[in-house]
Structures are given as structure tokens and as C-alpha cells.
Structure 1
Amino acid sequence: MTLVPRPFGRLEDGTPVEAVDLTGEAIAVTLTTLGAGIASLRTPDRNGHFGETVLPFTSLEERAACPPYCGASIGRFANRIAGGSFELDGTRHQLPRNHGANCLHGGPDGFDTRVWTIADLGTDPIPFVVFALDSPDGDAGFPGRLRVEARYALTGPGELTVEYSATTDRPTVVNLTNHAYFNLSADAGVGIEAHRLQIEADAMLPVDDGLVPTGEIRPVAGTAFDFREPRTFTENLQDCDDPQVLGQRGFDHCFVLRGGTTEAPRTIVRVEDARSGRRLDLLTTEPGLQLYSGHLLAAPEHGAPPAVVGGPTGFCLEPQRFPDAPNQPDFPSARLDPGRTCRQVAIYRFSKLDSAPDGGAAESRQS
């Protein structure tokens, strides 16, 4: 089988956008050159019926109507940088401030807004595509010319591996991730509150009012952030009076993963949806995981306490370096020097649960 990119539309300035469809055992993925992003990710439920496990889009118009950053590759620096600036080797670099006083996801013209080129694609030995982007020295205030590649590959049954790599000609900082919104129910009318999560993290990073880490590394034990044993969003948010949660009506925080940065990806999250019978294991090389519970996707119900998620239809799992790492000397470094390669890997492994929640056959609503 030969992989051939297909037209996906044109931007307002006429720039063409292409899509690539990867199909493997128990998984089908559509990727676009806009943002080197995931437009569709379909996997089977317990009855073998395929359904969307991310918030999808089938056109540029639909993508524009999606939540911000939907499915896209994020850079140069995922998450927030305090004050929109950082110092490197005695020089202060000013970035765009697009989230209050801070820089979020590389600024308003981050990598999610760029049309990447297709550097390589094929099916031998597995279906894969490589997107490439050149970011010039001074792009959005970041130093160094950055060459970035995003490689998507179907590396096993129900398995998508995303590998980011970057090189530079000057010292700089880099943090890359994917911003897909997941919903394992594959039903846009069903919220994610009953998804059961387990996160291999004993601590998290508290944030200030601008959602920038304060520098503290706080244990999760006894808090709403304790997902060391499988818990649902509802279980951890019910009756929660934690100011870290109240201000966001949910989670938008970085978890400190066990093992720190690793050479080989290890399992750091398991998500289960008993309704559909889907399970997602996320493996990564990264020290942090930003969990965003999608609170901006739906308003809280009338009269509901502010900690209630309020029925969001998607959540994000973003493996990455720590937010604001360039300004936090006690955090793992996000520095990249010439002659070195920044490599960040995430593996999304989908499988089926053994039984329905009532022990019988589960109803399937997927097409």
C-alpha cells in the first residue's frame, strides 16, 4: 500500500493544507500538515465497532471551530513561560504575552498555527509520516534556528507513537507535545467525568493565578490530584475545596512523573472507559504530564459548585518538560544546545477492557 497525501483545504492566504491517513490493526489516524496535528483517531470498542477517541475535525472550518490547539503539535515551548520572558546565558529573551502576562504554547503564532512540510512517509515496515518545520532564529523571540520533526507511526495493534526531535544552531529552550482532546466513549454527547485515570505521579506543580508553577513540588497524597490508584474525575472533584481546583473548575496542572526524564518510554497513565470498553495507556520519555480536564469545553451547570467539571467532552494528556522551566532553576532543564538533539516520545496504546460494567454485554453507540 502506498501512502499519498490528500488535499485538506486552504488557509485564508491560499496556503494548501494536506492530510495523511494511517491505517493499522485496530487503529486509524488522520493527520494534517496544519500544526502537524491529529484530525481523527479511531479505535474499536469492546464489540469491535470503531469510533472517534479524540475530538475530530474533517475540514479547516471544523478545526477553526474546535477548542484551541485541537490535536496540534505545540511549540516552541509548550505550556506557560512566566512574564513572557526568560534569561539564557546572560541574555533576556522577550516572548509574546498571549495568556495574560505570560507566554502560552509558544505564543499566538506557535507551531500549532504553522503548515509543516511532509518530509517522509511510507508503510515499510509500518505506516508512518514525518512532518518537518524550520523555525528561524528569533522566531517569537526564541533564540536559535530550530529544525523540528514530528514522526507519527503505527507501531503496533492499536498503537500510535509520536516522536518529536529538534536541533538548533544556538542555545535555546524547547518543549514539544501534542494537544489532542480525548474522549474514549466516542460519543460527543457523553462527558468524560466517568473516565477512570491512573497516573504514575507522587507530586504535582501548584500554580499561581496565571497558571504558572509557583516552584513548589507538592505531594498528591490526600488531595484531589491523587490518581496513584484508579479514580474518576468525578470522584476526585466531588466536594473538593482545594483552591488549585476551585479556580479552574477542574485540572490544568503538571504532574511530576516517577522516573523523571527517561531514554525509553515508560507507562505513566492508564485511562479506562467502562461504557465503551476502551483503555488507553500512555507511555513517554518526559518528566511531566499536563492534565487538562477540559473545563473550558462546557460551562458548569446552573447552581453547581465551581469545582465541578460541568460535563466537558474531552480532556488532554500532554507529556512534556515542566512549564516555566527556563525560569525555574530547580526544574529539569529544557535547554537545547548545538550538536545535541531534543527527543520527546509519546506512545498512545489503545486496547479493550475485558467486560462491561454490569458484567454483561455493553451497548455500543459507535458507528
Structure 2
Amino acid sequence: MTIPTNTLACGLLAVALLIACNQEPDVQRTQSGLDKRDFQTVVNGDSTNLYVICNANGMEVCITNYGGRIVSLMVPDATGAFRDVVQGFANIDGYTTEPSSFGATMGRFANRINNGQFVLDGDTVQLDRNNGAHTIHGGGDGWRGQVFAARQPDDSTLVLTYTSPDGESGFPGEVTASVTFAVNSRNELAINYEAETTAKTIINLTNHSFFNLSGNLAETVLDDILYVNAAGYTPLDSTLITTGEVSPVAGTPFDFTEPVSIRTALARDPANTQLQMASGIDHNFVLNTGGSIDELAARLYAPGSGIVMEVYTDEPGMQVYTGNMLDGSRTGKGNARYGKQTAICLETQHFPDAPNKPQWPTTVLEPGDRYTSTCIYRFSLVK
């Protein structure tokens, strides 16, 4: 969605957005054109809704507590027009009628676990297998299908909480988790995760937003310019499980150590076995940031809109997914058809299948300890 503006209109828009963030309950429409009432229903006995956080610059993020999902994200382009830069749906039915990951909080364990199994203190834990022989994104009862409790302490912050019962999808321990979404004057969206457990378990949380910085959610992202601060990536086997190796990106389609269009990177070696297996890029990159939230992990730039998104995280890895499985069968906001490679996901995380790879950073959480993770998406412009 694009809202044309000029200098006067920008000022009026900022005032209007401040009012919108403090609007009366009977005013339902968001800047992105969503109607809150279209997200108000009951799922598995719990009430769902749409929540709006924003800043004085006009940046707006709409989030539903169903799956802890980012539904829309409005930022200005190089002309001053505001664009929605994440794929999603204009009502709750778009998320509940067909399982999907659009904008969701992924838990209890993001990404894949080989054969849905791992060993914890000598015991083999069997999980729900919902991706062929494997478990993906927390199994069939993963958090993308759960209703979170919501609390909005101020106009720029939303706190979602969820208690995952012991044994959910086979995971041990009752886990209580919170996800805090906050925007600030720097046009940053920060996502902070915290969790505690009653028994030893594993945890790996991320957000699965499908970004399209052009604001045209049906347009390919192949011409977007991507930089990833990673000298290595974790290759996959034929079932898309990490092999346990870390391979250099140099000389491969996975080398984004210098900014390059996604199209150009893929064209370096179209017959690359890793690309063929995943139908594009769907790989974990081993970040060079050393876990520092102050070090740039990735930068994405859409030449058509001038919008830049930088990613910062304290996680050791980031999944880069070029929307390879999007097939045009889903129609989203603004009647946009979500075809192949019309979005890119940049998911900060621990490495996929880490519980079965002892050489990699651990994902074990002990009772009495607190899991924390932070991801920041910072938006700016190239004019």
C-alpha cells in the first residue's frame, strides 16, 4: 500500500498517526488499511485481536496475537510515501484456514530438527514430525498456531506472552515466554525474546516475516541488493537438514559479503546442488558478528523504493530464505498474489538442528536460567 505525501501532508500524517495510536476503541482502521474487527475472533478458546504500535515518524507495525505475527509494517520510501513491506493477510481467516509462517513467532524451536529427535541427558526425546521425517518450527503445535496473551504498555510497545505446556509437540518442560515488539524514533523495530522452563529443554525463537521492501507485495525481490556479514554457511542434505559442516561462502551463490543483487548471486552457479535442493536460498548463515547486537548482520536494499533494512542480532546465525516455496496460490493484502521469490526472510537464530550437532552453539535451557534473544530491524533510505 502506498500513501502519497508532500511536505505538508507528511506533517499532517504524523499528527494523524499520533492520534491513531491513541484512537478510541470504536475507530478500527489502521494506516496500512487493516480493520481490527477482521482479526477479532476466538481460536481454541482464546480471543484474537490486532494491535498497533507506531512512532512519531509515521512508522506503524500491526501485530496479531494469533501466532505472534507481524501483519503489516509501514515505513516511508524515498519519495515520502509510506509502504507496507511485509506479506500477510487482511483478516484472521487468512492465517487460520491454511497453515503458514507469514510474520509468525517461531517456537518452541525455529527451523528443522532431524527425524524429530534429539538426546537430552541420555534420553531420546521424540517430537511431532510435521515436515516429512523431520520437525519444523516447533511441530504441529508450534507457536505460530497459538494465541498469545497481549499487553500494550504504551503506543510504541506490545508484549505478547505464551505458556507452552510440558510435552507440547513432545518438548519437555513447561516454558513461559514473552516476545516484546517495540518501535523507536530511529525507525527500528526491536523484537526481544525471553523464556524460562520448569525442566531442561531446548529453545530457539525467531520471527518469520516475509519482507518485500518495494511495497509491491507481488513483485519479485530478485533485484534487491543483499549484504550478509557471514563468511560461512551451513549446507544441507537432500532432506534440507544441516549436515553439521560450515562451508565458506566465497565463490558460491551464498557469498553476500559484498552487496549484490539476489538475482546476480543466484546466477553465479544455477546448477549448484545446494540451490537445486532448496529451489533457491534457504540456508543458515554463520554470522561474523560474535553475538554483538551492535554489529551489522545484514543489509537489504530495494532500488525501486529506496528503502533499506538493516538487521542486528545477538544470535550466531541467520536463515536467509528467498521465498522459494511461494507458488502464487495465496492472495494477501491488496489482492497481491504471493508468487515464487516475491519475499525474503531474514530470521535470526541458533543453527538448525543444533540439538543434534554438539559442535555448534547450544540451544539447551536449564531451569533457573533465562533464555534471551534480540533482533532489530532498522529502516532507512537511499535517495
How many equivalent residue pairs? Answer: 340
CA RMSD of the aligned region, Å?
1.9
2:157 is aligned to 128
Which aligned pairs between 1:231-246 and structure 2 lie closer than 5 A?
231-238=260-267, 239-246=269-276
SS of the residue corresponding to residue 297 of structure 1 reads: coil
- Quick one: which amino acid aligns to residue 27 of structure 1? M
1:187 is aligned to 216
The TM-score, its normalising length taken from structure 2, stands at 0.85
Residue 266 of structure 1 deviates from its aligned partner by 2.7
Residue 65 of structure 1 deviates from its aligned partner by 6.8
Structure 1: state its 5+ residue gaps: 300-309, 355-367
Is the 8 Å Cα contact of residues 3 and 21 (structure 1) preserved in structure 2?
no
Q: 1:252 aligns with which of 265, 282, 299?
A: 282
- CA distance in structure 2 between the aligned counterparts of 1:296 and 1:145, rounded to whole angstroms: 33
Which aligned pairs between 1:52-91 and structure 2 lie closer than 5 A?
52-64=84-96, 68-91=100-123
- Quick one: which amino acid aligns to residue 86 of structure 1? F
1:363 is aligned to none
1:89-120, CA deviations, whole angstroms, 9 ceiling, x for partnerless residues?
11111001111111000001100000000144
Residue 13 of structure 1 deviates from its aligned partner by 4.9
Asked whether 1:16 is paired with 2:61, we answer no
Residue 66 of structure 1 deviates from its aligned partner by 7.6
- CA distance in structure 2 between the aligned counterparts of 1:67 and 1:137, rounded to whole angstroms: 23
Change (3 A) 1:115 1:225: same
SS of the residue corresponding to residue 208 of structure 1 reads: coil
1:295-347, CA deviations, whole angstroms, 9 ceiling, x for partnerless residues?
11137xxxxxxxxxx85211111000000010100010011111111111010
- CA distance in structure 2 between the aligned counterparts of 1:265 and 1:286, rounded to whole angstroms: 12
Which aligned pairs between 1:81-120 and structure 2 lie closer than 5 A?
81-120=113-152
Is the 8 Å Cα contact of residues 164 and 345 (structure 1) preserved in structure 2?
yes
Is the 8 Å Cα contact of residues 273 and 279 (structure 1) preserved in structure 2?
yes
- CA distance in structure 2 between the aligned counterparts of 1:158 and 1:266, rounded to whole angstroms: 17
Which aligned pairs between 1:168-317 and structure 2 lie closer than 5 A?
168-238=197-267, 239-262=269-292, 264-298=293-327, 311-317=340-346
Change (3 A) 1:320 1:135: same
1:45-99, CA deviations, whole angstroms, 9 ceiling, x for partnerless residues?
1001011100032211233478821001000000000010111111111001111
Is the 8 Å Cα contact of residues 192 and 311 (structure 1) preserved in structure 2?
no
SS of the residue corresponding to residue 93 of structure 2 reads: helix
Change (3 A) 1:67 1:106: closer
- CA distance in structure 2 between the aligned counterparts of 1:234 and 1:277, rounded to whole angstroms: 18
1:47 is aligned to 79
Change (3 A) 1:20 1:4: farther
- CA distance in structure 1 between the aligned counterparts of 2:289 and 2:97, rounded to whole angstroms: 38
- CA distance in structure 2 between the aligned counterparts of 1:244 and 1:55, rounded to whole angstroms: 26
Is the 8 Å Cα contact of residues 240 and 277 (structure 2) preserved in structure 1?
no
1:35 is aligned to 67
Asked whether 1:154 is paired with 2:186, we answer no
Is the 8 Å Cα contact of residues 204 and 218 (structure 1) preserved in structure 2?
yes
Change (3 A) 1:65 1:50: farther
- Quick one: which amino acid aligns to residue 49 of structure 1? A
Is the 8 Å Cα contact of residues 199 and 366 (structure 2) preserved in structure 1?
yes
Is the 8 Å Cα contact of residues 265 and 346 (structure 1) preserved in structure 2?
no
1:350 is aligned to 379
- CA distance in structure 2 between the aligned counterparts of 1:66 and 1:97, rounded to whole angstroms: 18
Is the 8 Å Cα contact of residues 229 and 289 (structure 2) preserved in structure 1?
no
Change (3 A) 1:145 1:207: same
Residue 121 of structure 1 deviates from its aligned partner by 2.5
2:12 is aligned to none
1:245-268, CA deviations, whole angstroms, 9 ceiling, x for partnerless residues?
012221010000013434x35310
1:359 is aligned to none
Is the 8 Å Cα contact of residues 40 and 50 (structure 2) preserved in structure 1?
no
Change (3 A) 1:276 1:282: same
Asked whether 1:166 is paired with 2:195, we answer yes
2:16 is aligned to none
- CA distance in structure 2 between the aligned counterparts of 1:285 and 1:237, rounded to whole angstroms: 28
- CA distance in structure 1 between the aligned counterparts of 2:157 and 2:23, rounded to whole angstroms: 9
Change (3 A) 1:94 1:66: closer
1:321 is aligned to 350
- CA distance in structure 2 between the aligned counterparts of 1:67 and 1:313, rounded to whole angstroms: 19
- CA distance in structure 1 between the aligned counterparts of 2:24 and 2:255, rounded to whole angstroms: 45
- Quick one: which amino acid aligns to residue 157 of structure 1? R
- CA distance in structure 2 between the aligned counterparts of 1:168 and 1:17, rounded to whole angstroms: 25
Is the 8 Å Cα contact of residues 226 and 301 (structure 2) preserved in structure 1?
yes
1:199-221, CA deviations, whole angstroms, 9 ceiling, x for partnerless residues?
00000000111111000110101
- CA distance in structure 1 between the aligned counterparts of 2:184 and 2:381, rounded to whole angstroms: 17
